[in-house]
Amino acid sequence: MATTERRVGAATARSATESALQGAWWKWGIGLVMCWVIYGAFYVAGGAVGFGKTGDIARIVFFHVPGAVLSSVCYFVGVYYAVLYLFKTYTPVRAAEIDAQSSIAMELGFLFCILATITGSVFAGIQWGSFWNWDPREISIVIMLLLYASYLVLRSALAGRPEQRAKLAAVYALVALVPAQYLIWAVPRLVPGNHPTDVLFEKERLSFSYRLILYSSFLAFTMLYCWLSQLRFRAYKVRTRLEGKRG
């Protein structure tokens, strides 16, 4: 009885969260914050010390760093749902939903990883004179891309066997967690390279206006991730419902 009540309570909480994220206010909020970041990046934020002569190239950080951080956060979210799938017992429908949420997090992580790679390459081309320098961070992000791509390829290869796909994908995500995060957070700090590491934590090198837009960009990209994740999950539920009717 208690277990049933907990499941009903959890389902109610999930439904309430989904309803909140489906509201028009959420979409307008994301749009407004993102527009503020784009406007602020070019017309509000000042330059940053250590980024070229004027510091203007540092404006790309507003889009590069949140994308890079979210590419890592998404992996943790994917692993969280993978652990739930592997080590907890659910109904078949709920288990499939948890697998879908893990997959969605990994898909979005791949998207943000691509964004971080492109913006990082643009930054390198202007700051260092070459769009690719085999810097430790550049190599790490490419390997991270390959890890994400391998996960997605694995799922595609087992499209006709959903239960086996879910288990193998969850195991892969869990096994690759340590190397993925080691590449992103440890390698660039252990191996010398061109890429700045702690500039964003040194307040004396960043103006107040720059920090204001930077923190706003983290908020905007986090909201964007939540919305895209929820939108993708709704699409999954619609597809599942349609497939159930056909069956």
Domain ranges of the chain: 24-246
pTM: 0.84
Rounded CA-CA distance 88/95 in Å is 9
Rounded CA-CA distance 162/117 in Å is 31
CA angle at 4 for the pair 3 and 10, rounded to the nearest 5°: 90
Rounded CA-CA distance 204/198 in Å is 12
Q: How confident is the model at residue 2 (pLDDT cuts 50, 70, 90)?
A: very low
8 Å CB contact between 103 and 155: yes
Q: Is pLDDT at 234 greater than 80 in this prediction?
A: yes
pLDDT at residue 165 in the model: 94
CA angle at 192 for the pair 191 and 195, rounded to the nearest 5°: 110
What's the chain's average pLDDT? 83
8 Å CB contact between 222 and 67: no
Taking only the tens place, the pLDDT of each residue in 175-228 is 998 888 787 777 777 777 677 665 565 666 677 888 899 999 999 999 999 999
Taking only the tens place, the pLDDT of each residue in 16-63 is 555 555 567 878 888 999 999 999 998 888 766 666 666 677 788 899
Q: Is pLDDT at 9 greater than 90 in this prediction?
A: no
Q: How confident is the model at residue 244 (pLDDT cuts 50, 70, 90)?
A: confident
Rounded CA-CA distance 78/109 in Å is 9
Which residue blocks in the chain are alpha helix, DSSP H? 2-22, 24-43, 61-87, 92-127, 136-157, 162-175, 177-181, 187-190, 208-246
Taking only the tens place, the pLDDT of each residue in 122-162 is 888 887 888 888 888 888 888 899 999 999 999 999 988 98
Sign of CA dihedral 200, 201, 203, 204: negative
Taking only the tens place, the pLDDT of each residue in 104-115 is 999 999 999 999
pLDDT at residue 81 in the model: 96
Taking only the tens place, the pLDDT of each residue in 75-117 is 999 999 999 999 988 888 899 999 999 999 999 999 999 999 9
